[in-house]
A and B are shown apart, each in its own frame.
Chain A
Amino acid sequence: MKFKIVFNVCVLFFAASLLPAEQSNLKKVSFLPQWAPQAQFAGYYVAYEKGIYKKYGIDINILQGGPDSPPDKMLIEGACDFTTLWLSSAIKENGQGKKIVNIAQMMQRSALMLIAKKSSGIEKPEDINNKKVSLWNDVFQVQPRAFFKKYDLNVTVIPQTYSINLFLRGGVDVVSAMWYNEYHTIMNYGYNPDELTAFFYYDYGLNFPEDGIYVKGEYFRKNPEVCRLFVKASLEGWQYAFTHEDEALDIVLKYMEKAHVPANRVHQKWMLERMKDLMTDGNAAMPSGKLSEKDYLYVANCMKEIGLVNSAPEFKDFYKECPSYDKKK
Chain B
Amino acid sequence: MIKRNSIAFKLIFSILISCTALFLGIFWYNYSFSKKIISENISDNAKNLTRATVNEIDSVLLAIQEIPENIASLLEHNPYDKDELLNIVHSAVEGNPEIYGAAIAFDPYAYESGALYFAPYYYRKKDSLEFTYLGSATYQYFYLDWYLIPKELQSPVWSEPYYDEGGGNILMATYSVPFYKNDGGKRKFMGVITADISLMWLQKMVSSIKIAKSGYAFLISKNGAYVTHPLNKLIMNETVFSIAEATNNNQLRDIGKSMIEGESGVVSIIGLATKRPSWLSYAPLSSSGWSLGIVFPRDELLLDITRLNRVVFILGFLGFVILFVILFLISMSITRPIQILADTTRDIGTGKLDFDLSAIRTKDEVGKLAESFVYMRESLKKYIKELTETTAVKERMQSELRIAHDIQMGIIPKIFPPFPDKPEFDIYGILSPAKEVGGDFYDFFFMDSDRLCFVVGDVSDKGVPASLLMAVTKTMIKTMSKDASTPDQILDMVNKEIAHDNDSSMFITIFCGILNIKTGEIMYSNGGHTLPLVVQSGYKIEFLKGDSGIAVGATEKAVYKTNKILLGPKDIICVYTDGITEALSKNQELFGENRLKEEMCAVRQMPLKAIILDIQRKVNEFSDGMPQADDITLLAIQYLGGIKKTEETVIALKNSVSEVPRLAEAVRGLLKSRNISEKIINEINLSLEEILANIIGYAYADKNEHKITVSLSISGSEFTAKIVDDGKPFNPLSAPQPDINASVKERKVGGVGLYFVRKLMDKIEYKRSDGKNVLILKKTVE
Assess whether A12 is interfacial by the CB under 8 Å rule.
no
The answer to the question of A55 belonging to the interface, with a C-beta cut-off of 8 Å to chain B, is no
- List residues of chain A with CB within 8 A of the CB of B153: 169-171
Question: Does A8 make an interface contact (CB < 8 A)?
Answer: no
- The yes or no answer to A14 lying at the interface (CB within 8 A) is no
Which B residues are in CB contact (< 8 Å) with A154?
none
Task: Point out the residues of chain A lying under 8 angstroms from B222, CB to CB.
Answer: 168-169
Interface code B198-237, partner A: CB below 8 Å = 1, 0 otherwise?
Answer: 0000000000000000000000001111000000000011
Per-residue contact bits, chain A 117-139, to B (CB 8 Å; 1 contact, 0 not): 00000000000000010000000
Nearest chain-B residue to A172 (Cβ)? B152
Contact string against A for B residues 570-594, beta-carbon threshold 8 Å, 1 for contact and 0 otherwise: 0000000000000000000000000
Nearest CB in chain B to that of A161: its residue: B143
Stretch at the interface among B238-246, B361-369, B494-502: B238-246
Residues from chain A with Cβ under 8 Å of B159 in the complex: 165
A262 touches B223 (CB 8 A): no
Q: Is B26 an interface residue (CB 8 A)?
A: no
Decide yes or no whether A189 CB sits under 8 A from chain B. yes
Which B-chain residue is minimally distant from A132 (CB atoms)? B152
DSSP majority for the A interface? loop
Say whether B257 faces chain A, with CB atoms less than 8 Å apart: yes
Alpha-carbon distance between A229 and B256 when the two chains are bound, in angstroms = 48
Residue in A171, A187, A263, A267 whose CB lies within 8 Å of B148: A171
- What A residues does B721 contact at CB under 8 A? none
- State whether B246 touches A165 (Cβ < 8 A): no
The verdict on A165 contacting B160 (CB below 8 Å), with A189-B224, A190-B223 known, is yes
Q: Which residues of A contact B157 (CB under 8 A)?
A: 169
Asked whether B547 is an interface residue with its Cβ less than 8 Å from the other chain, the reply is no
B143 contact set on A, CB distance < 8 A:
159-161
A28 within 8 A of B: no
Chain A residues 142 to 172 lying within 8 A of chain B, measured CB to CB, are 158-161, 163, 165-166, 168-172
Q: Would you call B223 and A265 a contact (CB within 8 A)?
A: no
**Size of the chain A interface, CB-CB below 8 angstroms:** 24
Cβ-closest chain A residue relative to B153 = A171
B144 near A: Cβ within 8 Å?
Answer: yes
A165-B239 in contact given A190-B223, A190-B256, A190-B257 (Cβ < 8 Å): no
Partner pick for B152 among A171, A187, A192, CB 8 A cutoff: A171
What count of chain B residues pass the 8 Å CB interface test?
27
Distance in angstroms between the alpha carbons of A170 and B153 in the assembled complex:
7
Cβ of B531 within 8 Å of any chain A Cβ, yes or no, is no
- A265 near B152 with CB under 8 A, answer no
Most chain A CB atoms below 10 A, which of B157, B222, B223: B223
User: B598: CB under 8 A from chain A?
Assistant: no
Residue of B144, B152, B237, B239 near A161 (CB, 8 A) is B144
Q: Output the least CB separation between B676 and chain A (Å).
A: 141
With a cutoff of 8 Å between Cβ atoms, the chain B residues found around residue A170 in the complex are 153
Contact B237 A262 (CB under 8 A): yes
Chain A 263-280, CB-CB to B under 8 Å as 1, else 0, gives: 111110000000000000
Q: Which residues of A contact B378 (CB under 8 A)?
A: none
CB neighbours (8 Å) of B257 from chain A are 190
* Chain B at the A interface: SS class: helix
Contact A190 B224 (CB under 8 A): yes
Contacts of B237 in A (CB 8 A): 262-264
Q: Quick check: A189 and B241 within 8 Å, CB to CB?
A: yes
A187 and B145 within 8 A (CB): no
Q: Which residues of A in the span 179-224 have a Cβ within 8 Å of any Cβ on B?
A: 187-190, 192
A-B pairs with CB below 8 Å: how many?
A: 69
Q: Residue on B with the closest CB to A168?
A: B223
Does B714 belong to the interface (CB within 8 Å)? no
Known: A188-B224, A189-B239, A190-B257. A266 touches B145 (CB 8 A): no
B182 to chain A, nearest CB (A): 24
B149: which of A159, A165, A263, A264 is its contact (CB, 8 Å)?
A: A165
* Among A132, A160, A169, A267, residue most surrounded by chain B Cβ atoms (within 10 Å): A169
Please, which residues of chain A bring their CB within 8 A of the CB of B152? 132, 158, 166, 171-172
Q: Which residues of B contact A159 (CB under 8 A)?
A: 143, 148
Q: Mark B333-357, 1 if CB is under 8 A from A, else 0.
A: 0000000000000000000000000
Select which of A163, A263, A264 is within 8 A of B145 by beta carbon. Answer: A163
Q: How far is the CA of A265 from the CA of B237 in the complex (A)?
A: 9
A264 adjacent to B144 (CB under 8 Å): no
> In whole angstroms, what is the CA distance A265 to B253 when docked?
17
**CA A187 to CA B224, docked complex, whole Å:** 11
Query: Which B residues are in CB contact (< 8 Å) with A171?
Result: 148-149, 152-153
With A166-B149, A190-B260 as known contacts, state yes or no: A264 contacts B224, CB within 8 Å: no
**Distance to closest chain B CB from A245 (angstroms):** 14
Q: Closest B-chain residue to A165, C-beta based?
A: B145
Contacts of B144 in A (CB 8 A): 161
Contact code string B468-491 (vs A, CB < 8 Å = 1, else 0):
000000000000000000000000
Q: When the two chains form their complex, are residues A262 and B160 in contact, meaning their CB atoms are under 8 A apart?
A: no
Shortest C-beta distance, B236 to chain A (Å), equals 5
Contact B148 A188 (CB under 8 A): no
Q: In the complex, A172 Cα to B497 Cα: how many Å? A: 158
Beta-carbon contact of A267 and B242 below 8 Å: yes
Question: CB-CB < 8 A to A166: which residues of B?
Answer: 145, 148-149, 152
Contacts of B223 in A (CB 8 A): 165, 168, 188-190
B216 to chain A, nearest CB (A): 21
Report the separation of the CA atoms of residues A230 and B519 in the bound assembly, to the nearest whole angstrom: 179
Distance (whole angstroms) from the CB of B593 to the closest CB of chain A: 123
Q: Please, which residues of chain B bring their CB within 8 A of the CB of A172?
A: 152
State which of B145, B160, B236, B239 has its C-beta within 8 Å of the C-beta of A188. Answer: B239
Contacting residues, chain A, for B236 (C-beta < 8 A): 262
**How far is A163 from B146 in the complex, measured between Cα atoms in Å?**
11
What are the residues of chain B within 8 A of A263 when measuring CB–CB? 237
Q: How far is the CA of A264 from the CA of B237 in the complex (A)?
A: 5
Please measure, in the bound complex, the distance between the C-alpha atom of A189 and the C-alpha atom of B237, giving whole angstroms.
Answer: 12
- Residue of B144, B237, B253, B257 with most chain A CB atoms under a 10 A cut-off: B237
Shortest Cβ distance from B157 into A: residue: A169
Bound form: Cα–Cα A264–B242 in Å? 7
A264 and B238 contact, CB distance less than 8 A: yes
Quick one: CB contact mask for B236-278 with A, threshold 8 Å, 1 for yes?
A: 1111111001100000010011001000000000000000000
Give the contacts of B304-319 with A (CB-CB under 8 A).
Answer: none
In the complex with contacts A158-B152, A171-B149, A266-B246 CB distance below 8 A: yes
Q: Which residues of chain A come closer than 8 Å to B242, judged between CB atoms?
A: 188, 264-267
- The distance in angstroms between the C-alpha atoms of A277 and B157, with both chains bound, is 38
Question: A188 and B149: CB pair below 8 A?
Answer: no
Give the docked Cα–Cα distance between A170 and B157 (Å): 12
Q: In the bound complex, how far is the Cα of B236 from the Cα of A262, in angstroms?
A: 6
| Closest B residue, CB atoms, query A253 | B237
Question: Smallest distance from the beta carbon of A298 to chain B beta carbons, Å?
Answer: 30
A266 contacts B149, CB within 8 Å?
no
Question: In the docked arrangement, what's the CA distance between A166 and B145, Å?
Answer: 7
CA distance A172 to B240 in the complex (A): 24
Q: In the complex, what distance in Å separates the CA atom of A161 from the CA atom of B145?
A: 8
In the complex, which residues of chain A have a beta carbon less than 8 angstroms from the beta carbon of B245? 187-188, 266
Within 8 A of B (CB), among A17-50: none
Chain B: minimal CB distance from A87 (Å) = 25
Extra A-B contacts (19), CB below 8 Å, given A170-B153, A171-B153: A158-B148, A160-B143, A161-B143, A165-B160, A171-B152, A172-B152, A187-B241, A188-B223, A188-B239, A188-B241, A189-B224, A189-B239, A190-B223, A190-B256, A190-B260, A262-B237, A265-B246, A266-B242, A266-B245
Query: What are 9 inter-chain pairs, A to B, with CB distance below 8 A?
Result: A165-B145, A165-B149, A169-B153, A188-B224, A190-B224, A190-B260, A262-B236, A266-B242, A267-B242
Chain A to chain B: the 9 pairs with minimum beta-carbon distance, closest first:
A171-B152, A189-B223, A266-B245, A161-B143, A188-B242, A266-B246, A188-B239, A266-B242, A165-B145
